[in-house]
Amino acid sequence: MIGRLNHVAIAVSDMEAATAIYRDTLGAEISDKVAQPDHGVSTVFINLPNTKIELLEPLGDASPIAKFLEKNPSGGIHHICYEVDDILAARDKLVAQGGRVLGDGNPKIGAHGKPVLFLHPKDFLGTLTELEQA
């Protein structure tokens, strides 16, 4: 069902400092910072030859990343994202097997302009997992 690893997301409290580490220290190609109000975050993508790193910064006090950073003030890995060919079929199969989809269970449009869903970490080895339509 799952395809390639699309990205690993890292929550950061200071996007400028985080992008400087990847750009200046590691020599990575980075995207522009983009606000994602529907998800309560701003994002920057680090482009790697085989995948991406997504840096997440809170966008407002109600951001789910703000709560994560309260518990992890230095930041850290927030979630992983896998591609799926058919997000609705993947959701239905997971739910039938007892998996929980966060939110109302319907895909939202993610940072890449494609439908995404998040799966409950308790069902996936303690890891928040995002599925993105390929």
H or E segment to which residue 79 belongs: strand 76-84
Q: Is the dihedral of CA 58, 59, 62, 64 positive or negative?
A: negative
Tell me the C-alpha distance between 37 and 99, whole Å: 27
Taking the C-alpha atoms of residue 57 and residue 33, their distance in angstroms, rounded to an integer, is 10
| 130 annotated active-site | yes
Q: Which of 54, 57, 83, 130 is catalytic?
A: 130
Active-site annotation, residues: 130
